[in-house]
Amino acid sequence: MARYVLFATLLLSSAAVIAADEGLHDIDIDRTDLSDPALNADLDKPKTLLPHSDVEPSSMMLQPVGESLPIGVPSYLLVSLANLGPKMFNVTKINGIVSDVKSGKALANFTRRMYGDPLGPREQRSFRYPFVPNKKLSPGEYQMTFSVFYANRDKEGFSTEVYSGKQVLVAGPHEKSELPLTDIAMAIALVLGLAIAYTSLAPLLSGAPKSTAPVDTRSAADPSQWLPAASSPKKKKSPAAKRT
């Protein structure tokens, strides 16, 4: 009898546990993430803009002289964009970067140029991007990459690489150090003033007394120059004067 009572108790306990478990499934549990969004590491990563499939780019490098780019001299990249889709885009800017050929490390950035030009459906536009190689770069071969940035009407941004290739940088022309004309005129006037002042003050600075003796104008061939000066003859007194 005791065995049947124990068995019935176990059945009742199992039924109660199953009913409680089924009741928990009916409760709506709030699973809202209460963690601090500032602790999310993905938010610190810069958003990478992807190219749009409707925009087809092409470009051409315009060297000012020969096939090399002079350092410190403006060069130009001609960029062409074709919109093959039905939506409008707004071209915002173009920029570029100079990298090491072997390591790929970025060495310098080109100044970005803002445009803000529309690129309509089935439309093609060209953009002239001027850039100047940094004077801190040494002559040699570098990797250059240029990208164009644009957005649609929904302000969704896109970026397309328009040029990536190796370019040789050469030394630019030497800077001429020319003095302004006003500085040159002032320097000449200063030199002339010092020369005039020296000429005027030279006798006073020497301290030599001026001679007042008459100047001998006789020539060396004149015999009287070598003879002593003759004394004037004395007048003889007449006998009548002596008697008186």
For residue range 194-213, list pLDDT tens digits in order.
Answer: 667 667 666 665 655 555 55
Beta-strand pair 113-119/124-131: unpaired
Kindly tell me if the per-residue pLDDT of 114 is higher than 60: yes
Report, as an integer, the average pLDDT of 2-21. 53
pTM of the model: 0.55
pLDDT for res 29: 47
Residues of the chain with pLDDT > 70, as a percent, come to: 53
pLDDT for res 188: 74
Report, as an integer, the average pLDDT of 21-45. 50
Token pair listed for 26: 């009916």
DSSP letter for each residue of the chain:
-HHHHHHHHHHHHHHHHHHHHHHHHTS-------S-GGG-GGGGSPPPPPPPTTEEEEEEEE-SBTTBEETTS-EEEEEEEEE-SSS-EEEEEEEEEEE-TTT--EEEEPPPEEEEEEE-TT-EEEEEEEE---TTSPSEEEEEEEEEEEEETT--EEEEEEEEEEEEEE--PPPP-PPPHHHHHHHHHHHHHHHHHHHHHHHHHH-PPPP-SPPP---TT-GGGSSPPPPPPPPPPPHHHHH-
Mean pLDDT, the chain, integer: 75
Domain boundaries, the chain: 55-168
55-168: which CATH architecture? Sandwich (2.60)
pLDDT for res 201: 62
Report, as an integer, the average pLDDT of 115-140. 94
Query: Is the C-alpha dihedral spanning 42, 48, 49, 51 positive or negative?
Result: negative
Lowest-confidence segment of 16-20, 26-30, 53-57, 227-231 by average pLDDT: 26-30
Kindly tell me if the per-residue pLDDT of 25 is higher than 70: no
For residue range 48-85, list pLDDT tens digits in order.
Answer: 899 999 999 999 998 766 678 999 999 999 999 999 99
The one-letter amino acid code at 193 reads: G
